[in-house]
Each structure stands twice: as C-alpha cells, then as structure tokens.
A and B are shown apart, each in its own frame.
Chain A
Amino acid sequence: MKRFAHTVIAIAVLLNLCAAASAELLFPPPEFESDYVMPTTTTPHPHQDVYEYVDVAVLFIALSLASYLVLKKRSRRATFVLMILSLIYFGFWRKGCVCPIGAIQNVVLSIFDSTYAVPITVSLFFLLPLAFTLFFGRVFCAAVCPLGAIQDLVLLHPVSVPYWLAAGLRALAYLYLALAVLFAATGSGFLICRYDPFVAFFRFSGNVNILIIGVCFLLVGLFIGRPYCRFFCPYGVILRQVSRLSKWRVTITPDECIQCRLCEDACPFGAIRSPAVEWPAVEYAKAKKRLAFLILLLPVLIVLCGWGGSRLKNVTSRMHSTVRLAERIYLEEAGEVEDITDPSTVFRATGETIESLYERASIIRNKFILGGWLLGGFMGLVIGVKLAAVSVWRKRTDYEADRAGCIACGRCFKYCPREQLRLSKTKQEVC
C-alpha cells in the first residue's frame, strides 16, 4: 500500500559464498536488436530507520504522560485514554513489533552472540520502561503496553483469584522468562515472539493456533483481569521486582487512609493489601521457625531444581535447529525413519561430515546443561522465595497497593472518600 521510493539496485550487493564465488563469471545477457529495454529488479525499501526513532520518542512521551496522569493527575479516565492511544499506535499501527517484552531476547542474544548487534532502538525499548518503573512504578503496564491494553479493554466481570493461586500461577511467568532467556542466549529462537498471543489481532492476520491462543486469553480476560500480564508476561516479572524499589508509586489515598475499606474490592488484579495487625505470639513463633526452615531449604531447592533443569537438556536443546537436525540425521542413519526431510537433504548436500554435525550439536547441548542448571536454580530460588514470603510478616496500618503487583491502572482512586474530597476541593478551587 504505502510504497516507499523504489530504490533500484542494478547489480546487487554481497554474497560471500566463497567457493562458488571464484567460479562465478559475468555472463552477459543477450544484446537485443529491438528497442527492448531490460527491466530492473525492483527493491521496495523497508520501513525507514527514522520511524524506529519516532517509535522510541513516542514510547518516551507515552511513559512520561502515563507517569504524570497516574501519579500527579490521579485520573483513571485520562490513563484509560492514553492506554487506548498506545494500543492504537504500538498495537494496530506499528503491528506490535518490536515491544519491550520481546526486546528482552534481543538484549540477551546480543550479550551471548558476538555476531548479533542489537539495534539501538530495540535497546531503548527494553531500557526505557525499566527506568520509568524504577522511578514511577509500573506505568508502562498501566497505559503504554498494547498487550496489557487489549486485555484491560475486555475485562468485563472481574473474579478475584485467591492469593495463593495467583502467586502459584505467577511462577509460570518466571519460568517463561527463564526459558525465553535460555533460548535466546543459545540462539535457538525467540520464544516470547513465537507465542505472542495478541500480535495476530494487531495485524488482523496470523497463524490459526496463535489466534486461538489469543482468543482464549481474551476469553479468560473477561473474568480474570489481564491474565497474560499477571501469569505469563516475562517482562512483567522484571518490572515487578524493579517496581518494589520505585521511588514514587501509586497510593490509593491522596493523603491519609481512613480505613473505610471501600477500596478493598476495587482492584481487579488483587493488588490491594489490607492492613495487617500484629501476629499472635504463637503464630509468630511458628512462622519464625518456618522461615528459618525455608531459608535453610532454599539452597537445597536451588540445587535440586538446577539438577532437574540440567537433566532436561535433551528436551530443551531440541529448540535449537542444529540439535534437531543432528537428532534427525541420527534417526536416519540408524534406519529408524524411512524418509528424509528438507533439513536433512540440505545437510547431506553441504558435504559436512556427520561427526562434525554431532560435534556441533553436542557443544550446543552442553550449553543447555549449564543453561538448565541456571534455569532450574533460578526457578528454585523463585519457588523458595515465594514460600518464604508466606512466613514473613509485614506490619501495615493502611490499605495500600502492593508494590510489585500494582500495575498503576488507577482504578482504585475514585473508591477512596479522601480522593473524592480532594476532587471536590479542586473543583471548588477551579470554580
């Protein structure tokens, strides 16, 4: 539709296909007697770089605006409008690529693969929301992320998810993050992009399976607020941890909590914590013992899960094309399969020896052993800390938003009588 200037490259770029290059010879095309003019191959230009920088600028502006609207203006309505605009721009207009969630993988790949250089705009996409979260909380989730926005829109009838279940399901997000990092680091592929459930909606086109997954997420999202964000989003779990340290964050009440409990059910994401009184001495003693036990258990858990992760190398390494190819060739060599596949045909035509392929595959598989240890260890740590968190008591006098879980959507503001009071005051001042 929007064709950019058709640059014409007469005799083309590149190709360091070493062996063949030497034999290549300029064979002249026919000389035509008629006035026939040989057409040139058209090469329509891609989306220009300047637009990528525009995207970064839009991201920065949207994040700033979101911080202002949530923390200063305290307006759910304005935040909502910004969210819709972000959905339209980053989702439907820019077709959902590249997003900070997927950018995790580009960043990881560029760290582990010396031949891959991440475009600077992609790094910025990854870093900007992190930096904003460190200062203002998860405003990115609230009003900038198109994946969050599409789910937020369909939330019809929120059902509360029990705390223990939500915490348990959240482990999936950590696992997803760990797997995505593992596969990106080993150069196997970009898991997050492959299973991005909403990108097909943004493009009105995509794989049927992915479309079904997206529809399922939205169906669940009718009743459970933002299921992808809360239980799967790998970037979300990074933002959770950063958000714990954020300098400013959403407060339900603009000034003081009057313990009216009106906000308690306002949050569809289960991120409002009610005041906690002192534990009874008996409970406290029990919890203390339990905590000590769990802290001791933590290293055991890490090692155990790490061991388990490394044992999974045969399964996880199958994500890498070289390992898949080596397994296929092994089956063919052993006579366990009759036919040949395209990849095995290509491999056999390259003339590389089977031993050298096995060698390459086993080097990659060994990376998955180390990767499996790290992945498992990380999951062990996550589970251990989650368990320990149950036994930690923190005194809270007021109703407040959970530091990690609050996505700064601003739904709770208007439930607070103090906020109502503030609003009417400002209104009077204006009048």
Chain B
Amino acid sequence: MNRLSAAANVKILVGVLIALATVSAVISVVSLDPFGEQGSGVGRKFIDDITELARIDPNLILYEESSVRISTGFEQSHAIAVDSKGLIYVAGDNAVRVLAPNGDAINRISLSEIVRCVEPGDDGRLYLGTKDRVEVYDDKGQRIARWESHGLNAVLTAIAVSGDDVFVADAGNRIVVRYDLSGKVVNRIGKKDLERNVPGFAVPSAYFDLAVSKDGLLRVVNPGRLRVEAYTLDGDFEFSWGKSSVAVEGFCGCCNPANFALLPGGGFVTSEKGLARVKVYDAEGTFVGVVAGPEQLLEGGTPYIAEVPEQHRVGGFDVAVDPEGRVLVLDRIKSVVRFYTKKKAG
C-alpha cells in the first residue's frame, strides 16, 4: 500500500513538473520579442537629446518664410546665388537655371558635368564650378572660357568674384585659388604655414565656402575648426570668428558653417548641416539671431533632425541674400528655394 502511494506520489510529481515546464515554455514563447518591438531605445534617446538641443527660443527667430517657394526642377540641387540685379541662379544636376526675382524662369545653361557652384560676376559673366574646374559663361549662356583643371583630388565648392579677382574654394585640395578674370592663377591662399600664422584649412567633407566682404578681406570657412577666417587678398591670415558649440550662437557638427552669404550691411547669414540652422551674425561675427531652425527647415511640426540615412546624405542647404535683404535658402532635400524676410518689428 505504502509503495503504491509512493509510486503515485512520483507520478504526481512528474505530472506537476511537466505541467510547470509546459506553462513556462508557453509563456516564454509568447513573451519572446523576435521583431524588435521593444527596441533598444538608443536611437530614440539620441534623437531626444538632439531634439532638446535643437530647440530654438522663438524670440531669437528674426525671419519668417514667405508663402512662395520655387521648385528648382532639379533632381539634386547644389548651389544658389543672387546677382546685384536680384536675378537668382540655381545650380543643380548638370545645369544652371536663371530665375527672375519673382521666380519666373529666364534661362537655362546646360553643362556636360555636374555643376557644384555658381557665382555671377559684375560684368554679366557667370562663373560655374564643376568638380575640378571653372567655366565662364556670358549673359546669353555661351561658354567663353574653360579654366585649367585643379587635378584629380579637386572638389570645387565655392566661387567669389571681387573686382578683378576670382576666388575659388577647392575643398578636395584644401586651398583657395585666386585667379584674375582671364583665368590666370594669381596666388594660393590658406596653405598651412605656421610662420605666416596661416593655420591651414581642415575640410572634412565637400563643404567649403568663401566670399569677399565689404571690408576687402576674403572670408573663408574653416569647416573642421568650425569658424570663419579672414584673409587679405594676398593670403595673410587676419582673424577668425565662430566657436564650436551646440548652443545657438555656435557651430556644431564637423563641417560648419556649411555655407554662408553676406548681408548688405556687412553681416553674415550662415547655414549649418546636421543640426540644420540658418543664422545671422554681424560683421564682427557676433550672433544676432536665427533665420530658421530645424523646426522650420525640416519636415515635421516638432523640432526634428535627420533620422534616417536618406536625410543625412543631403543637407548643408546653400544660402544667398538678394539686394532687398531677403534670405534665400536652397532646400536640397525638397529641391525648392525658400524665401525668408525679416519679421516686422513688434
């Protein structure tokens, strides 16, 4: 009798054990998360942190976008410039479009290569930069000159015309080349030379902008150092401004400001990639205010930065300022030109 009940006990024990095992196995199967629905939270946290940093005090935003946007009609838009008459030049794909200030198409110049930068000269000539050389066109769109190539490593990113000089920023070779109007090299600016106090350009990617300011000094972005440097036309380093910071006064990321333009009064409009911001600085480089922040420049109602690779690869919006003081932003994600005007006081 005793032995029988012992056997029965063993059977019950086995039964219970099997039942327990079955139940816990079923629970484990059900609670398994094979589709990553719980996620790691790493990506979200980063976005949240950046979103917090990207938030801009609305009081700092001095500009507002006008309702009209002009589509560039390009697959990929690269650069924008405005001449003294207010004509808008947009480079993209293998062409440049010339637009009236109201957006009407005036002309289109097609090239055999991708046009990476554009600069209208005072004499009606148009200077276009392909990957490695400058091409000059007249106001009818006929090519009049094709300057020497900068070599295999060249990546031209910006052209500035001032008087008899043409300055060409070559991001690949980390140098600014000064030409005369006929395309002859006058000198090279910015090669590291510690004796002359020239720090050298650190250019991590194909963003390297320049312009000649009203004070007669050449302004070049040193993107790796996150600042704007001033040079004499002969290549002597004068001074620089800009500091690395995620705060609104600074430049953040690895190659900022990606682009800039001069305001009629001598100030600067800068454009940053990564944390997309267009901001205004005065002639001394003191922060003045914001034209548009990530919230205004990128899709979505809330502050928002690029989250997926497609968004990372574009960006670095080009900017230009027209004679009326409007800030033109070339939205490279949507391939449209946006216009920002100063908010009315009060």
Contacts and interface: CB of A to CB of B under 8 A. Distances in A.
Interface of A: 19-20, 22-23, 25, 27-28, 30-31, 33, 157, 159, 189, 194-195, 207, 209-210, 212-213, 215-217, 219-220, 222-224, 321, 324, 341-342, 345-346, 349-351
A222 B21 CA distance: 11
B296 interface: no
Interface in B148-172: 153, 155, 171-172
B308 A28 contact: no
B310 interface: yes
Contacts of B307: 345, 349
B172 A27 contact: yes
Contacts of A194: 32, 34
B34 A349 contact: no
Given A30-B174, A219-B17, A349-B308, A342 B39 contact: yes
Given A342-B39, A349-B308, A223 B28 contact: no
A210 B32 contact: yes
Closest 8 CB pairs of A and B: A216-B25, A216-B21, A349-B308, A209-B28, A212-B28, A28-B153, A209-B32, A219-B21
A216 B14 contact: no
B21 A209 contact: no
A28 to B, nearest CB: 4
B202 interface: yes
B131 A25 contact: yes
Contact of B172 (A28, A189, A342): A28
A209 B308 CA distance: 31
A209 B44 CA distance: 25
Contacts of B192: 33
B25 A212 contact: yes
B205 A349 contact: no
Contacts of A189: 34
A213 B174 contact: no
Nearest to A189: B34
B206 interface: yes
Contact of B205 (A27, A207, A346): A27
28 contacts: A19-B75, A20-B310, A23-B76, A27-B206, A28-B155, A28-B173, A30-B174, A30-B202, A30-B203, A157-B14, A194-B32, A195-B29, A209-B29, A210-B28, A210-B32, A213-B29, A216-B21, A216-B24, A217-B21, A219-B17, A220-B17, A220-B21, A224-B18, A341-B39, A342-B39, A342-B43, A349-B311, A350-B310
**Interface range for B:** 35 or more
Given A23-B76, A220-B18, A213 B34 contact: no
B19 to A, nearest CB: 10
Contacts of B239: none
B294 to A, nearest CB: 15
Given A27-B155, A207-B32, 12 more contacts: A23-B76, A28-B172, A33-B192, A209-B31, A209-B32, A210-B28, A210-B32, A216-B28, A219-B21, A223-B14, A345-B307, A349-B307
Contacts of B203: 30
Nearest to B151: A28
Contact of A212 (B24, B39, B76, B173): B24
Nearest to A33: B192
A217 B25 contact: yes
Nearest to A221: B21
Contacts of A345: 307-308
Contacts of B142: none
B35 A321 contact: yes
A258 to B, nearest CB: 30
Nearest to A194: B34
A341 B192 CA distance: 48
Interface of B: 11, 14, 17-18, 21-22, 24-25, 28-29, 31-32, 34-37, 39, 43-44, 75-76, 114, 131, 153, 155, 171-174, 192, 202-203, 205-206, 307-308, 310-311, 313
A237 B192 CA distance: 75
B14 to A, nearest CB: 5
Nearest to A347: B308
B242 to A, nearest CB: 20
Which residue, A157, A159, A321, has most C-beta atoms of chain B within 10 A?
A: A159
A397 B82 CA distance: 102
Given A25-B206, A28-B172, A194-B34, A223 B17 contact: yes
A224 B307 CA distance: 52
A15 to B, nearest CB: 12
B107 to A, nearest CB: 24
A207 B28 CA distance: 10
A203 to B, nearest CB: 17
Contacts of A342: 36, 39, 43-44
Nearest to A31: B174
Contacts of B25: 212-213, 216-217
A195 B34 CA distance: 10
Which residue, A33, A194, A342, has most C-beta atoms of chain B within 10 A?
A: A342
Contacts of A217: 21, 25
Given A20-B313, A27-B155, A212-B24, A223 B206 contact: no
Contacts of B17: 219-220, 222-223
A382 to B, nearest CB: 22
Which residue, A31, A157, A220, has most C-beta atoms of chain B within 10 A?
A: A220
B126 to A, nearest CB: 22
A224 B36 CA distance: 34
Contacts of B206: 25, 27
Nearest to B78: A23
A349 B306 CA distance: 10
Contacts of B76: 22-23
Contacts of B11: 159
B297 to A, nearest CB: 16
Contacts of A220: 17-18, 21-22
A23 B316 CA distance: 14
Contacts of A19: 75
B18 to A, nearest CB: 5
A346 B24 contact: no
B28 A349 contact: no
Contacts of B155: 25, 27-28
A216 B36 CA distance: 24
A209 B25 CA distance: 8
Contact of A216 (B22, B44, B114, B310): B22
A210 B323 CA distance: 68
A194 B35 CA distance: 11
Nearest to B173: A28
Contacts of A216: 21-22, 24-25, 28
Which residue, B29, B114, B206, B307, has most C-beta atoms of chain A within 10 A?
A: B29
